[in-house]
Amino acid sequence: MIGIVDYGSGNIYAIATIFKNLNIPHKIISKPDELEEASKLILPGVGAFDETMQQLINSGLQEKLNYLVLEKKIPVFGICVGMQILGNGSDEGELKGLGWIPGNVKKFDEKTIPNKPHLPHMGWNTIKNNNNHPIFNNIDEDFGFYFVHSYYFECENEEHILSKCNYGIEFASSIYSNHIFGMQFHPEKSHGNGVQLLKNFAELEYA
């Protein structure tokens, strides 16, 4: 069962609708004891880094999430700011992130962006799959995904970059470390590619 974590940030119902249409068992989870029911987790995210982290802290879910993801190795999929909080911290705020993937969130330098308005990076963009990971099976990279963000995740280790995108600079459009995934774009706004990506995550098998 896919657990969509509701800590007050993200398009949870849009994600739930996709899984419903795919006939994939899922549940919106807002209490720590409910997390045990999930075999995989989605961390949605819309908004600012500190606000999102504070909402997660206030929800009482963080300690249980750390245990399930780091100790029990439950697969997790962070979206937009839900991806950014996987890192150590952000230029956007002062709170610490979850620290599950080494890296920090940086703001785009507007001087490198040729088109106006410079920020946010909003709309459709292509991606480049770095290593043919099966989570991108049957994805049209040229069609791409829908982005809305002014900050990007800078990985400490290149090996954690799953795919790249270009917006003035080349940046990580998705990241991963074993069973932990983060997508800077919004699958729930990305039509067929987004549906396929969430389906792929649901079907990934781990020993």
Q: What is the pLDDT of residue 186?
A: 93
Partners of 5 in the beta sheet?
29
Q: How confident is the model at residue 116 (pLDDT cuts 50, 70, 90)?
A: low
Q: What is the pLDDT of residue 29?
A: 94
* 137-174 confidence digits (pLDDT tens): 999 988 999 998 889 999 999 999 999 998 888 999 99
Q: Which sequence positions are flagged as catalytic?
A: 80, 186, 188
Q: What is the pTM for the complete model shown? A: 0.93
- On whether the CB atoms of residues 195 and 22 are closer than 8 A, the answer is yes
Question: DSSP code of 195?
Answer: H
Residue 21 has pLDDT above 70, yes or no: yes
DSSP string spanning 82-109?
HHHTTSSEETT-SS----SSSEEEEE--
In angstroms, what CA-CA distances link 95 with 57, 117, 136, 205?
11, 28, 32, 33
Residues 94-117, mean pLDDT to the nearest whole number? 86
Q: What is the pLDDT of residue 207?
A: 53
Q: Prior bond to 117 cis, omega within 30?
A: yes
